[in-house]
Structure 1
Amino acid sequence: GDEQSIEAELSTFSGHMKQVGMILRSITTRSLVILDELGSGTDPVEGSAIARSTLEYCLTHAALTLVTSHHGVLKQFAYAKQEVINASMEFNEHSHLPTFRVIQGLPGESHALDTARLMLLPEEVLTKAEQYLGSEAVQIGSIIKDLEAKRRELEREETEMHQRFLSLQREVKELQLRELRVKQRETHLKMEQTTSLNRFLLEKRKELENLVSELKQGELTKTKTKSVKTFVQDIESKVKLSEQELEQAELELEEELSTEEVILSEGMDVLCGSAKREGKILKDLGKGRFLVALGSMRMTLKASQLSVPKRQETTVSVLFQSSAAEPKLTLDVRGMTLEQAISALEIQLESALVHGMSTFSIIHGYGDGILSKGIGEYLRSQRSVKDHRFALPEDGGMGKTYVML
């Protein structure tokens, strides 16, 4: 504030210098020095000289310093010193009001004439003031305005370039997604082919059983039976070869998916596991792993095991597989503590959801009921669990629990 005092015989400048002197005598390398309107309240030339020497003193003592000033000498000083940075408050040329946005690297104008005009100072006074200001000062102000205009233009171009980059990035992702879907369709066709062959083989096996039954009744010769077995063996070989081809195709697809990991990002919707459950990527954990929200659960999944929902056009979703083992039809937790049992059950639930399993059972035994009660409470707290109940008496009764997802 203004430290002038008639009683203390201090003018505005004297009070200002008194405070600055106290600050300079106590600064260290760990000090933060903030000086407002440094060198004001006296002759501008002398005030500028004092302000500059004050800044040099702060630099010598390596104190972090923030200074506001209207002195042009200090703006030139900041340009000349690598340790000092110019900054200014952005000024709206149309409204003639500050935006209160700090612009680093660019010195500002004082805008004294603009402010005076806004305060309705007579135009005659302002016109003469502009004449008295001199052509050099006007030229400097014009240069600063041109620099500010170029800065705004650069910011606009930078924004446009960033938007173009994002647009190109989306187009690249879309092309990569299309290629990925083609490969997935190819693999799906091979899976259908194998299913069809397996169905055909099952029919032929039934036919063989009928032929063997007839053979036992003496209606067929051993030679004919042998030829039928050979026929079935040939079909089995064909199915095995088809399955090997399918496995190879899946491996190639996984490799392709791993090269597409770059297109996955936070916020993308994904399909999870063979059950195609919908999820959302929460975080990229690196090394091809993602934290994915699956309903009320969160899981860490591999990018190579993710698939893309068809409804998405420019973003990629991925199907993941939990790092846990394959789910068990029956989870045996006998002999475990409650904490160990709950931990095993969490892994089982995660794996069951990912692999599309709709039901499984838990063997916890009777004991003193701690496991049975604790597991029941945990299952009731899980949104993914539709129902759970004790097994039938002949299947374990109260020592076993059925879980429905």
Structure 2
Amino acid sequence: MKSPEQRVVFAGVDGRTTTDLPEWYQAVTEDPDPVSFAEAIRQLPRAATTPVAYHNPHTDEWVETNRFSAVVEPTRLQTRDDEAASDPLFNVPTDSYAIINPTDVYAPLEDVLEATTYDERPLGEVAFGEIRQYRGGGEVHMDVMFDGLAVELPGEREPITMGLTSGYDYFGGHAVYVEGFARDTHCANSIRALTDRKTVKHIGDVGDFREWWETILEQLELVVNDLHAFIIDAQDITVDITNVPFDLVEFYDLLGFPAYLARRAAEDARAESDDPFEIDMWALHSGATYALTHFFSGKEGTALDGYVRIANDILFNPDATLETVTHTFEQRAQEVTTAEGQTGLEQQSALAQLERVSSDVREKAHRFESREQQLRDRFEALVD
């Protein structure tokens, strides 16, 4: 991802907790001196509204309007223009826009983390992560993880640490959002969108965030056991690259990854597999998250979210993944048909190979479908 303008690492919910960063996280972060979550939140730029006016070129007058307001960073207005490090103006929305400042959203999370325990420890004592700022602090994204809330996989492999990813902006592009998140400590890959994304728009009465956070944390605890089961099952479904009409880079390309990400994903999937020619769906998913975490060149937002959905389908919906690969391959095969409109023998053989592989996956995919539905049912029960 594009480097943020500012990155702050935190450990512990506030100054009353003594929390150290996990060793694996210290090894991958550039900030050796974290602050508390509460302090990091209160360092973020705030927003306020101020009246705006438009220029009447006929009278050379400025006319104020109450239909719009300027969303600004108030402390920057106190600095002369030639001294300001950042532009104080974020946005000029309509009067229906409701400002949601960082403490409005995340101060309730601080309270919930103190009140919520896991393995007899308050989550506030084991919380850590980072906050990233873009566009002068008007766009913010963060990862909040919990040391010890983890998926333990068989063998000596490092655990997968669970958490949340959240963010907002003052430009009208991002509502306040949060969703389940995990970090694979084995390779520092980020696994995003583990729960349904919850959002609060900057419109009207935004309500109380405390209950919002409580529900989200309950969802996250449900995901821990299910994620473990998904991974174990995904390791049982393999794709024999020697029996399909494409190589590993093309597999990711057929799913919709751009060439530079497809290449990186394939390299990691091979490296993580015992057999570089017969690769299971967990390794294929890991390759995708590796490429997105370490090499995605775009911004956090819509484009990244789309690739995350592709990656997650490899793990949570392998049948749909193979359907996508097959459909894209068929489309490309049609583009190279003969002048008589007949698909060449090579393409016909390739499609038959794909159908056999897809059929093998479908026989095992029902476990994923039933587990995913059970998980969604439990999520809905929490919200109702």
TM above 0.5, one fold?
A: no
More strand per residue = 2
TM-score (normalizing by structure 1): 0.21
TM-score (normalizing by structure 2): 0.22
Which of the pair has the greater relative contact order for Cα pairs under 8 Å at 6+ separation?
Answer: 2
More helix per residue = 1
Larger Rg: 1
